[in-house]
């Protein structure tokens, strides 16, 4: 825990402890832990001398932040308008069915987190699904299973697994 | 001093006054919910909307956050303002049907049906408690989390915060927490009992109506 | 690299860069925009690099990854210089052939050329492709020539000459006058005259002299990505515009607020900013003129509302993105309560152009009230998806048919949605409408930031309205009641209609509540949020009525109102659908027509999707 506190402190210090940097600080904390653990939020609030609820307010307002640990693969279904008219809702339905979770949630085995995004600006390839950083274009409900299967087989990221266990 | 016209009457008030305060000085009552004297103005509930006339165009503005301007023409009870207020109270009641303050307000405005789906959130997110805690108690233990329809008033991680001194002010100032309308079944989203039968007068000293309403209706303090 | 201390040094450097460039040297320019990125252009670039090395051509052939060329439909795109041969849908397998044939022998590879689907003619060059022919790419055109990570490329196209012109030959007031004379209007959606905005910021009193300029790069409109392509492909043009604006308004601090979902834009902008500082275009004593201006890049947190100026500033101050009442002017009291000027990416990118070529030239382009060009992202049910830059006043028909190549699969055009989620849907009867700020507003839509989503007969307008309201409900900050509760209840009503539970009075209720949300909301998000609903009711009322009265979705989109059936004439009994169906709702013997058990069917569409014989029909 001491180690964790130091980690957060280093991030806060990088921004000179300025209140205005709270969003940037939380972004860096999130890229460190892949989510925002409670102890980190408490540390940020303490360091910045801000009421904890204010930090929580920011952390829950912006979509970039997650207060829950995330799965090892993030499946993001684009719901931009171009993807929508080309059939993204059916793709999302199928992804929900395949993973058995609603967007914003993570499967029990911590393998997949399902997310939606409101446009990635790769509209020519719509409907688009992004798994981690790989774009899967021209998706249809039929292709969802195939794409997910590809990632089911990849080994778990060890570093990530440790974080999940330690939290 | 700034000169403006409210409901056809010219008035002079000092600069920095809000339209709501200026109207209140003239004895004109504009309904409010999130506004509370002594707390900062927030402009959330939009119940205090007034029509601001500019030439042949007009717009609706929340009077609690609208500063007076030289030559401003304000209508506090125009058709447009009333219509918008009615829809807003209807919306609020659909998300908080057991609030007596809202039921009273609806009765006053002649709302006779809630046309929207009732989703009882138990809170209208007026933020009075949040501002009270922060501004009057200098505590800042409660705040808003989430956004859009998942926005709610909360404490961090839903535990009593260290800052809390148990003053109870947050409950006291809430326009919804106080005695709820106990009517068992709502008719068209409205409390079917007592005060729907006759419009209720608004008291001048009323602080968000904590008086229970009996069959005789609301006691009016003058 | 040395820092530049004067206009003369800048021109000297530019001369040196240009003299080192050999226009006759073969160069392969690969489009590296996010669209092509998603197609895998990185692998192609790598393959080219390896192939060039393998063939020992590293010294003779140049390889360049540029910003977005705009024609995303046909990506990955490459252009081979000096002949400027335009290849589309290139894959890694084509790489060795391009080197062997085109680079070494100078032959054109026919199969990689663009073929006009109408005339069947092949286009050798970008300028012959109908998609590009009708465009006027003033702001966007240099994207294909510039490696955004190399400032020398920008300087080679005349970059930062407008800045040096302004710093050494113009007074701040003259700059504002020039922008005012050009009639440039804000490209972010509002369409407010930029020059007037600058003037009020310059004239706003500030006790300590602090003022801010902000570049709004929080492009959140779904289906719109022109700002991103500029940030990724030509970041210096935006920075140059900002420094010019800062000089005109007398400000020394600027922010660029970039949407979080744009990692490549953040990266390229960061590199550009670093280089601009190094060369002395940004920082203390810019080009030795004595003028200081610093820029900070701020990452957005993922909230559409932060595209609203006051919410953006709240977010820059480290607070949640809640807008504030609109009667406090940003020009007087903006960021940290100081006079602030906020412009959109595309607006800033127009500024160097106006300075370089003059307001008189600029104001000749476009219509009476709207000057210059506008970049649109043309997406949806359209043949040529991509970014197009056209002069204001061009008709929707020209954009959709001449540039966009019409609707795919021979379907019928139904509507075009302009202006992002708060815009409106325009029907076929308005297809000859000239596109400019005022005409779009009059037709019940808005220019917005430039999204243009084309819809065909297979798009349900009620579903589209529901989509936008759902989007905005999720993105509403939740502060004021009309927007938070009103949109949520509108969504309830629209959902009911799409599920066949609509009531006769629902349409009127939607209109009533829509009107109140527009009037009573705190900020522009709520103030425009009902537009998609109101405009679809205005132009497509019959579709709403079909849903409500007949419980029918004419476009065959709304799940609850459709039935999937098998066309026995077409079904070959291949059993593919039966294998795909997650519910086991399809049955039938091999080689005999199948049937769908309607009790079991969840209308997921997998059978429709998988049938090779179009035997699954939607009723």
The per-residue pLDDT for range C290-299, each reduced to its tens digit, is 999 999 999 9
The reply to whether A68 falls in a domain is no
Is residue A77 domain-shared with residue A53, that is, in the same domain?
A: no
- Nearest chain C Cα distance for residue B148, angstroms: 4
Is residue A31 domain-shared with residue A57, that is, in the same domain?
A: yes
Domain segments of chain C: what residues?
Answer: 24-81+85-124, 151-362, 373-456, 461-549, 563-618
- Inspect the interface and report whether the beta carbons of A61 and B147 lie closer than 8 Å: yes
* Cβ neighbours of C476 in B, within 8 Å: 147-149
Of A41, A53, A60, the CB nearest to B140: A53
C327 touches chain B (CB under 8 A): yes
3-state secondary structure of C283: strand
The pLDDT score that the predictor gives to residue A163 is 35
- Percent of chain B topping pLDDT 70: 79
3-state secondary structure of C141: helix
Of C327, C474, C489, the CB nearest to B148: C474
* Cβ neighbours of B156 in A, within 8 Å: 41, 51-53, 55-56
What CATH number is associated with residue B41? 3.10.20.740
- Percent of chain C topping pLDDT 90: 70
- Inspect the interface and report whether the beta carbons of A137 and C38 lie closer than 8 Å: yes
- Label residue C18 by pLDDT band (50, 70, 90): very high
Counting as low any pLDDT under 50, the low residues of chain A are: 156-167
- Inspect the interface and report whether the beta carbons of A125 and C38 lie closer than 8 Å: yes
Of C128, C147, C115, C153, which is closest to residue C45 (Cα–Cα)? C147
The total number of structural domains in chain A stands at 2
Q: Is the pLDDT of residue B98 over 90?
A: no
Count CB-CB contacts under 10 A for residue B117. 14
Q: If you average pLDDT over every residue of chain C, what do you get?
A: 92
Segment C396-404 long-range contacts (CB within 8 Å, at least 24 positions apart): C396/C426, C396/C430, C396/C431, C396/C432, C396/C433, C396/C435, C397/C431, C397/C432, C398/C134, C399/C435, C399/C452, C400/C431, C400/C454, C402/C130, C402/C133, C402/C134, C403/C130, C403/C131, C403/C134, C403/C135, C403/C378, C404/C131, C404/C378, C404/C454
- Percent of chain C topping pLDDT 70: 100
* Cβ neighbours of A54 in B, within 8 Å: 140, 143
Superfamily (CATH) of domain C24-81+85-124: Glutaredoxin (3.40.30.10)
Report the residue of C489, C491, C530 to disrupt the B interface, i.e. the one with the largest count of B CBs within 10 Å.
C489
How confident is the model over C234-276, as pLDDT tens digits?
A: 999 999 999 999 999 999 999 999 998 888 899 999 999 999 9
Tokens of C532: 């998609």
Selected residues 160-179 of chain B with any CB under 8 Å from a CB in chain A: 161, 163
How confident is the model over B33-59, as pLDDT tens digits?
A: 999 999 999 899 999 999 999 999 999
Is residue A85 domain-shared with residue A137, that is, in the same domain?
A: yes
C253 touches chain A (CB under 8 A): no
- Inspect the interface and report whether the beta carbons of B140 and A60 lie closer than 8 Å: no
Of C149, C142, C200, C174, which is closest to residue C350 (Cα–Cα)? C142
The reply to whether B146 falls in a domain is yes
Is residue A56 domain-shared with residue A114, that is, in the same domain?
A: no
Q: How far apart are CA C58 and CA C236, in angstroms?
A: 28
C482 touches chain B (CB under 8 A): yes
Is residue A81 domain-shared with residue A126, that is, in the same domain?
A: yes
Is residue B26 domain-shared with residue B113, that is, in the same domain?
A: no
Q: C400 Cβ partners below 8 Å, 6+ apart?
A: C378, C382, C406, C413, C416, C431, C454
Interface partners of chain C (CB pairs < 8 Å, 3 or more) are: A, B
- Nearest chain C Cα distance for residue B91, angstroms: 6
Q: Where are the alpha helices (DSSP H) in C250-327?
A: 263-279, 309-316
The reply to whether A153 falls in a domain is yes
Is residue A124 domain-shared with residue A151, that is, in the same domain?
A: yes
The pLDDT score that the predictor gives to residue C210 is 94
The pLDDT score that the predictor gives to residue C315 is 94
Selected residues 19-58 of chain A with any CB under 8 Å from a CB in chain B: 38, 41, 51-57
Is residue B98 domain-shared with residue B62, that is, in the same domain?
A: no
Is residue B162 domain-shared with residue B189, that is, in the same domain?
A: no
The reply to whether B221 falls in a domain is no
Class of domain C373-456: alpha beta
The total number of structural domains in chain B stands at 3
Contact C182, C340 (CB under 8 A): no
Of A38, A41, A54, the CB nearest to B143: A54
- Nearest chain A Cα distance for residue C277, angstroms: 20
Taking CA atoms, what residue in A is nearest to B160? A53
Cα B117-A58-B153 angle, rounded to 5 deg: 45
Interface partners of chain B (CB pairs < 8 Å, 3 or more) are: A, C
How confident is the model over C584-608, as pLDDT tens digits?
A: 888 888 888 898 999 888 888 888 8
The pLDDT score that the predictor gives to residue A142 is 83
Q: Is the pLDDT of residue B182 over 80?
A: no
* Cβ neighbours of A125 in C, within 8 Å: 35, 38-39, 72
Interface partners of chain A (CB pairs < 8 Å, 3 or more) are: B, C
- Inspect the interface and report whether the beta carbons of C480 and B44 lie closer than 8 Å: yes
The pLDDT score that the predictor gives to residue B212 is 42
The reply to whether A148 falls in a domain is yes
The pLDDT score that the predictor gives to residue A158 is 40
- Nearest chain B Cα distance for residue C487, angstroms: 9
- Nearest chain A Cα distance for residue C93, angstroms: 19
- Inspect the interface and report whether the beta carbons of A53 and B147 lie closer than 8 Å: no
* Chains B, C: CB pairs < 8 Å: 90
Of C403, C440, C400, C393, which is closest to residue C418 (Cα–Cα)? C440
Tokens of B80: 């447009």
Residues of A with CB under 8 A from a CB of C: 18-24, 26-27, 57-58, 61-65, 79-82, 84-87, 90, 93-94, 97, 117-126, 128, 135, 137, 140-142
- Inspect the interface and report whether the beta carbons of A51 and B145 lie closer than 8 Å: no
Contact C98, C91 (CB under 8 A): no
Choose the CATH number for C151-362 among 3.30.70.2190, 3.40.50.11540, 3.50.50.60, 3.10.180.10.
Answer: 3.40.50.11540
Count CB-CB contacts under 10 A for residue B82. 16
C227 touches chain A (CB under 8 A): no
- Label residue B191 by pLDDT band (50, 70, 90): low
Is residue B31 domain-shared with residue B12, that is, in the same domain?
A: yes
The reply to whether A167 falls in a domain is no
Sign of CA dihedral C431, C434, C438, C442: negative
Higher pLDDT, C328 or C517: C517
How confident is the model over C44-94, as pLDDT tens digits?
A: 999 999 999 999 988 889 999 999 999 988 989 999 999 999 999 999 999
How confident is the model over C606-616, as pLDDT tens digits?
A: 888 788 888 98
Report the CATH fold assignment for C563-618: Alpha-Beta Plaits (3.30.70)
- Inspect the interface and report whether the beta carbons of C484 and B66 lie closer than 8 Å: no
Class of domain C461-549: mainly alpha
Is residue B11 domain-shared with residue B34, that is, in the same domain?
A: yes
How confident is the model over C522-574, as pLDDT tens digits?
A: 998 999 999 999 999 999 999 999 999 999 999 988 988 989 889 988 999 88
B135 touches chain A (CB under 8 A): no
How confident is the model over B21-37, as pLDDT tens digits?
A: 999 999 999 999 999 99
- Inspect the interface and report whether the beta carbons of A122 and C467 lie closer than 8 Å: no
Structural domain span for residue A22: 2-61
The reply to whether A30 falls in a domain is yes
Is residue B9 domain-shared with residue B66, that is, in the same domain?
A: yes
The pLDDT score that the predictor gives to residue C337 is 92
This complex has an ipTM of: 0.87
Contact C491, C473 (CB under 8 A): yes
Is residue B90 domain-shared with residue B154, that is, in the same domain?
A: no
Q: How far apart are CA A25 and CA B67, in angstroms?
A: 36
- Inspect the interface and report whether the beta carbons of A53 and B146 lie closer than 8 Å: no
- Inspect the interface and report whether the beta carbons of B49 and C474 lie closer than 8 Å: no
What CATH number is associated with residue B159? 3.30.70.20
The reply to whether B136 falls in a domain is yes
Q: How far apart are CA C200 and CA C217, in angstroms?
A: 22
Structural domain span for residue B39: 2-77
Of A67, A64, A7, A17, which is closest to residue A45 (Cα–Cα)? A17
Q: How far apart are CA A90 and CA A82, in angstroms?
A: 14
Residue A37 pairs in a beta bridge with: none
- Label residue B222 by pLDDT band (50, 70, 90): very low
Report the residue of B141, B145, B154, B156 to disrupt the A interface, i.e. the one with the largest count of A CBs within 10 Å.
B156
Count CB-CB contacts under 10 A for residue B145. 23
- Label residue B200 by pLDDT band (50, 70, 90): very low
The reply to whether A132 falls in a domain is yes
Report the residue of A53, A58, A65, A67 to disrupt the B interface, i.e. the one with the largest count of B CBs within 10 Å.
A53
Is residue A87 domain-shared with residue A53, that is, in the same domain?
A: no
- Label residue C2 by pLDDT band (50, 70, 90): confident
Contact C148, C67 (CB under 8 A): yes
The reply to whether B161 falls in a domain is yes
- Inspect the interface and report whether the beta carbons of A23 and C471 lie closer than 8 Å: no
* Residue recorded with tokens 């809702």: A89
Residues of B with CB under 8 A from a CB of C: 43-47, 49, 59-62, 65-67, 80, 83-84, 87-88, 91-92, 94-95, 115-117, 119, 124-125, 144, 146-151
């Amino acid at each position: 825990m001491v180690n964790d506190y130091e980690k957060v402190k280093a991030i806060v210090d990088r921004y000179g402890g300025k209140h205005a940097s709270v969003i940037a600080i939380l972004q860096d904390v999130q890229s460190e832990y892949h989510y925002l653990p409670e102890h980190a939020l408490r540390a940020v609030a303490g360091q910045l001398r801000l009421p904890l609820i204010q930090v929580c307010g920011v952390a829950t307002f912006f979509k970039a932040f997650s207060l829950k640990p995330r799965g090892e693969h993030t499946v993001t279904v684009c719901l931009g308008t171009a993807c929508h008219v080309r059939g993204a809702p059916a793709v999302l339905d199928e992804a929900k069915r395949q993973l058995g979770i609603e967007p914003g949630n993570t499967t029990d085995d911590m393998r997949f987190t399902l997310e939606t995004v409101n446009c990635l600006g790769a509209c020519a390839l719509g409907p688009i699904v992004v798994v981690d950083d790989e774009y899967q274009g021209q998706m249809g409900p039929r292709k969802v299973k195939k794409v997910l299967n590809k990632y089911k087989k990849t080994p778990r990221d060890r570093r990530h697994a440790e974080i999940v266990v330690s939290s | 001093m700034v000169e403006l016209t409210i409901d056809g009457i010219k008035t002079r008030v000092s600069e920095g006054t809000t339209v709501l305060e200026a109207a209140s000085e003239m004895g004109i009552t504009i309904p409010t919910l999130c506004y509370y004297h002594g707390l900062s103005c927030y402009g959330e509930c939009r119940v205090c909307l007034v029509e601001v006339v500019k030439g042949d165009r007009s717009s609706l503005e929340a009077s609690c956050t609208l500063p007076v301007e030289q030559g401003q023409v304000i209508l506090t009870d125009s058709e447009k303002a009333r219509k918008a207020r009615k829809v807003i109270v209807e919306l609020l009641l659909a998300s908080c049907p057991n609030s007596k303050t809202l039921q009273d307000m609806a009765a006053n405005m002649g709302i006779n049906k809630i046309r929207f789906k009732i989703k009882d959130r138990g809170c209208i997110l007026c933020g009075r408690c949040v501002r009270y805690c922060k501004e009057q108690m200098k505590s800042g233990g409660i705040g808003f989390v989430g956004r859009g329809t998942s926005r709610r008033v909360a404490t961090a991680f839903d535990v009593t915060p260290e800052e809390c001194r148990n003053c109870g002010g947050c409950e006291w100032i809430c326009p919804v927490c106080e005695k709820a309308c106990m009517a068992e079944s709502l008719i068209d989203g409205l409390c079917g009992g007592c005060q729907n039968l006759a419009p209720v007068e608004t008291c001048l000293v009323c602080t968000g109506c904590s008086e229970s309403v009996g069959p005789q209706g609301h006691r009016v303090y003058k | 690299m040395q820092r530049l201390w004067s206009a003369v040094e800048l021109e000297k450097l530019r001369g040196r860069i240009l003299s080192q460039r050999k226009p006759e040297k073969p160069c392969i320019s690969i489009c590296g925009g996010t669209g092509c990125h998603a197609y895998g252009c990185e692998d192609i670039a790598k393959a080219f690099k390896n192939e060039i090395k393998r063939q020992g051509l590293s010294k003779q052939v140049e390889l360049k990854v540029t910003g977005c060329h705009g024609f995303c439909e046909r990506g990955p795109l490459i252009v081979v210089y000096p002949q400027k041969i335009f290849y589309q849908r290139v894959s890694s397998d084509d790489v060795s052939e391009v080197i062997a044939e085109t680079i070494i022998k100078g032959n054109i590879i026919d199969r990689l050329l663009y073929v006009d689907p109408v005339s069947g003619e092949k286009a050798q060059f970008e300028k012959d492709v109908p998609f590009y022919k009708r465009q006027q790419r003033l702001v966007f055109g240099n994207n294909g020539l510039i490696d955004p990570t190399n400032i020398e490329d920008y300087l080679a196209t005349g970059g930062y000459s407008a800045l040096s012109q302004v710093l050494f030959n113009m007074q701040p007031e003259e700059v504002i006058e020039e922008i005012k004379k050009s009639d440039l209007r804000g490209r972010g959606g509002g369409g407010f005259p930029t020059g007037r905005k600058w003037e009020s910021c310059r004239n706003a009193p500030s006790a300590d002299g602090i003022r801010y300029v902000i570049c709004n790069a929080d492009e959140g409109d779904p289906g719109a990505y022109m700002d991103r392509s500029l940030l990724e492909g030509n970041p210096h043009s935006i920075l140059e515009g900002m420094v010019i604006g800062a000089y005109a308004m007398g400000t020394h601090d600027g922010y660029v607020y970039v949407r979080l979902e744009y990692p490549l834009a953040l990266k390229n902008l960061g590199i550009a900013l670093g280089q601009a500082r190094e060369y002395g275009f940004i920082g203390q004593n810019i080009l030795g003129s004595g003028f200081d201006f610093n820029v900070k890049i701020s990452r957005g947190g993922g909230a559409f509302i932060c595209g609203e100026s006051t919410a953006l500033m709240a977010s820059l101050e480290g607070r949640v993105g809640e807008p504030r009442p609109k009667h406090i002017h940003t020009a007087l009291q903006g960021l940290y309560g100081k006079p602030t000027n906020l412009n959109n990416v595309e607006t800033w990118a127009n500024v160097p152009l106006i300075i370089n070529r003059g307001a008189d030239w600029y104001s000749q382009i476009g219509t009476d009230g709207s000057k210059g060009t506008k970049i649109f992202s043309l997406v949806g049910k359209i043949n040529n998806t991509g970014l197009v830059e056209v002069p204001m006043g061009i008709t929707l028909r020209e954009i959709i048919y001449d540039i966009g190549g019409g609707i795919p699969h021979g379907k019928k055009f139904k509507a075009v949605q302009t202006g992002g989620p708060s815009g409106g849907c325009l029907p076929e009867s308005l297809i000859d409408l000239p596109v400019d700020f005022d005409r779009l507003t009059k037709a019940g839509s808005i220019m917005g930031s430039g999204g243009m989503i084309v819809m065909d007969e297979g798009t349900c307008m009620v579903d589209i309205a529901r989509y936008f309201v759902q989007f905005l409900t999720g993105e509403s900050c939740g502060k004021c009641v009309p927007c938070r509760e009103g949109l949520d209840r509108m969504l309830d009503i629209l959902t009911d209609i799409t599920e066949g539970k609509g009531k006769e009075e629902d349409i009127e209720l939607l209109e009533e509540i829509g009107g109140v949300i527009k009037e009573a909301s705190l900020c522009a998000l709520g103030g425009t949020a009902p537009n998609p609903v109101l405009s679809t009711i205005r132009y497509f009322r019959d579709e709403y009525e079909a849903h409500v009265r007949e419980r029918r979705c004419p476009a065959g989109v709304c799940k609850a109102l459709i039935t999937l059936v098998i066309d026995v004439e077409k079904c070959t009994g291949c059993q593919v659908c039966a294998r795909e169906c997650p519910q086991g709702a399809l049955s039938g013997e091999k080689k005999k027509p199948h049937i769908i058990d309607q009790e079991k069917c969840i209308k997921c569409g997998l059978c429709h999707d998988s049938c090779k014989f179009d035997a699954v029909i939607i009723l």
